[in-house]
Amino acid sequence: MTPTCTSEDIQRIINKLKKSGYKLTPQRQAIVDTILDSVGKHLTVEEIFDIVKKKRPEIGLATVYRTVVLMHEENLITRLDLKDGTARYELTREDEHHTHHHLVCIKCSQVLEFMDDLLDPIEEEIGKKYNFKVLDHSLKFYGICNECAKEETFKEETEYDKREG
């Protein structure tokens, strides 16, 4: 299931920025639109900049950085660190009880989302055992995606054929 952006998401962002005293300038609007159009893609600031630059060439990288930092501070986007030294960002969804989870390919860096919350029983156990109220958690699985696995199988078969032939 590919997540989509709703009109409620758009209105929530506009209202939150206005409530915090920020104007939705044309530059910010272009950056917000890019993030909303990229739901589920986990973009870096540089990738956001590359997309924004095509529509609004006058926008600089520093403006994109400042807007991303602002949106993160306002809890409009979530920062995702995947052990590769690059922060990625995605829309914070209010309809999620917990942050959704991620499958990360160690070959191509593809990030897949899954919404199943398999940790509810563990959270309950932690709460009882440690008298601790879990508010959120983050879960990432690192492995090899289907496409990379197919490539690996193809390479292995090709190498085998060369040795046998």
Binding residues for Zn(2+): 105, 108, 145, 148
Binding-site entries for Fe cation: 137
Binding-site entries: 105, 108, 137, 145, 148
Count of C-beta atoms within a 10 Å radius of residue 67? 26
Q: Report H helices in 21-96.
A: 26-37, 45-55, 61-73
SS3 84: coil
Q: Where are the beta strands (DSSP E) in the chain?
A: 77-81, 87-91, 101-105, 111-114, 140-143
| CA-only gyration radius of the chain, Å | 20
To the nearest 10°, the Cα dihedral for 7, 13, 17, 20? 110
- Rounded to 5 degrees, φ, ψ at 35 are -65, -45
Distances in Å between the Cα of 44 and the Cα atoms of 6, 84, 90, 137 are 22, 12, 9, 22
